Amino acid sequence: MSSSDEERRLARARLPAGLRPETLAVRSALAPSQYGENSEALFLTSAYVQPDAETSARRFANSEDFTYSRTSNPTVRALEARLAAMEGTEAAVATSSGMSAILLLCMGLLKAGDHVVCSRSVFGSTINLFAKEFGKFGVETTFVSQTDLAEWRAAIKPATKLLFAETPTNPLTEVCDIRALADMAHAAGAQLVVDNTFSTPALQRPVELGADLVMHSATKYMDGQGRVMAGALCGSSRVIRDVLGPVLRTVGMVLSPFNAWVVLKGLETLSLRMKAQSEQALAVARWLEARPEVARVYYPTLESHPQHELAMRQQNGQGGALLSFELKAATPEEARAAAFHVIDSTRVLSIATNLGDTKSIITHPATTSHGRLSEEQRQAAGISQGLMRLAVGLEHVDDICDDLLRGLSTLKN
């Protein structure tokens, strides 16, 4: 290949400015290789052959060059470019899971004596990671109400380095005000990190609302078909490339190229899936709200949701694909029996504890994701025995409702 061919190939791969998010989700990546593949290639290699010792020395001195796949891999790099473009950040770093993204965040930005303020309603393992694992290293975390800004403000102290929020939450879809939390963090000289797993950049871009860093479990909607584990952090070049990148390369919770490739392809259909799954979830939520057996439905697009207006403003008018609902029952024992009956009567939905799949999934939080809490802690968190979580997929919406009806219509009251 002549050098002018090579120059034309690289020039052609540079995208014009101002492209819209849907376009960036399909087009942002690295330049294609000399073979001109239209679909991004999967580079399954742990090392890279160097043309000579001098070049090898130069590339090892520059972590942006390809030498070894713990340091960088073209497929992983393509995913990072696409994620950053979609979140509207300067840079992104991919990790082996969502939890390892939070681990990287803590290792890179916290030290003994530092303090974190975190919503009490975030993902269970996130709470354990802050309170238990980093507690051991002298990092203190205060857990506060998801929705009460005064509680967040009161928890901040001089040692506070991070505010950590997730919105909407799982399973009750509680929403927090990203812009208000960002202002609060910055006034205290701290940074706001938002776990954007449930909304994805298709619905919500936290950096546009003032957040400093965005965290993802790409295992969920970004893959979108329940195949691989992956995570990511998106933010400024200064934090991602200069602070977190070197920690990742040393510690090694890197994303496998195969998983990166699966997520890269998943992102191309993310906005279509989120839109379709949000519409289906709203239809199911409205249907459930009208059922006599149902006491309450939690879903941000419903007018009955306590933060409906904030959610619609923050989430591009969409509620996401996750909802939960509570059955009417006289006692916790009856509530649990009724919930188990509805779950066991389904023949289409998956009984599992995951979300972000094209397959709809039904879960009983009180005995799975929140099973290790005491009954008192569960009640404080609003997780009753009659609560069920539904992660709505892409089956026909009438088949999802019919499947729920099998159990609802045969409940013994």
Ligand X SMILES: *Cc1c(COP(=O)(O)O)cnc(C)c1O
- Judged by CB under 6 A, the stretch of 13-21, 75-83, 216-224, 256-264 that binds ligand X is 216-224
Angstrom distance (rounded) from CA 293 to CA 76: 48
Q: Pattern of binders to ligand X over 101-140, x per CB under 6 A?
A: ----------------------x-xx--------------
Q: Is 99 in the site for ligand X (CB under 6 A)?
A: yes
Find the radius of gyration of the CA atoms of the chain.
23
Type of residue found at 150:
A
Query: Helix, strand or coil for residue 293?
Result: coil
Angstrom distance (rounded) from CA 368 to CA 82: 34
| Residues 221 and 104: beta-carbon distance below 8 Å | no
Distance of CA 6 to the CA centre of its chain: 38
Residue that the structure tokens 């990190």 belong to: 193
- Judged by CB under 6 A, the stretch of 52-60, 82-90, 217-225, 294-302 that binds ligand X is 217-225
The one among 28, 89, 121, 219 contacting ligand X by CB under 6 A: 219
| Residues 67 and 59: beta-carbon distance below 8 Å | yes
Residue that the structure tokens 């950049």 belong to: 201
Q: Is 229 in the site for ligand X (CB under 6 A)?
A: yes
Q: Is 166 in the site for ligand X (CB under 6 A)?
A: yes
Residues 6+ apart with CB under 8 A from 241: 91
- Judged by CB under 6 A, the stretch of 1-9, 24-32, 97-105, 135-143 that binds ligand X is 97-105
Query: Helix, strand or coil for residue 24?
Result: helix
Closer CB to ligand X, 75 or 363, in the complex: 363
The one among 77, 220, 378, 389 contacting ligand X by CB under 6 A: 220
Closer CB to ligand X, 212 or 357, in the complex: 357
The one among 28, 89, 97, 119 contacting ligand X by CB under 6 A: 97
Shortest separation between residue 170's beta carbon and ligand X, angstroms: 6
Q: Which of 6, 247, 285, 225 is nearest to 109 (CA)?
A: 247
Shortest separation between residue 383's beta carbon and ligand X, angstroms: 15
Closer CB to ligand X, 85 or 99, in the complex: 99
Angstrom distance (rounded) from CA 197 to CA 199: 6
Closer CB to ligand X, 233 or 240, in the complex: 233
What DSSP line would sit under 80-106, residue for residue? HHHHHHHHT-SEEEEESSHHHHHHHHH
Closer CB to ligand X, 73 or 167, in the complex: 167
The one among 89, 146, 217, 271 contacting ligand X by CB under 6 A: 217
Q: Pattern of binders to ligand X over 168-207, x per CB under 6 A?
A: --x------------------------x-xx---------
Handedness of CA 83, 89, 95, 101 (dihedral sign): negative
Shortest separation between residue 122's beta carbon and ligand X, angstroms: 7
